[in-house]
Amino acid sequence: MGVELPHFSGFPLNDSAAGCEVIRSYYRDYLPVAKAVGRSFLFATDSWRASPDWADRLGYDRALLKQNNATSVALCAEVAAELVWRATSPASSVPGAMLGSTMPP
């Protein structure tokens, strides 16, 4: 996708509309693969490094980190709802689950 992830941290993508679209595109690209092979899909937030230690390295204060984590979970749920649970017909749906990993700010 050609996206730079400082310190291999995906959570800064949540800060902009363009970054959120990168996340949506990522899920939209991989979900058909799961469907094609008859597998479920795990929607995981991009918050694997959204902790106070990593936030300090990236210049995030605790309030921004908390908002970023909330955005990450909401975006993941939005895309999961769009692509799985609200499918217009059973034939177009894929079983899915959502995993969110957030740290206390």
Cα–Cα dist 3/82, whole Å: 23
The 10s digit of each residue's pLDDT in 17-56 is 999 999 999 888 888 888 788 777 888 888 878 888 889 9
* Phi and psi, residue 15, nearest 5°: -80, -10
The pTM of the full predicted model, rounded to 2 decimals, is 0.76
* Phi and psi, residue 52, nearest 5°: -55, -40
Domain boundaries defined on the chain: 7-99
What is the number of other CB atoms lying within 10 angstroms of the CB of residue 82?
A: 14
Cα–Cα dist 39/52, whole Å: 35
Cα–Cα dist 25/69, whole Å: 19
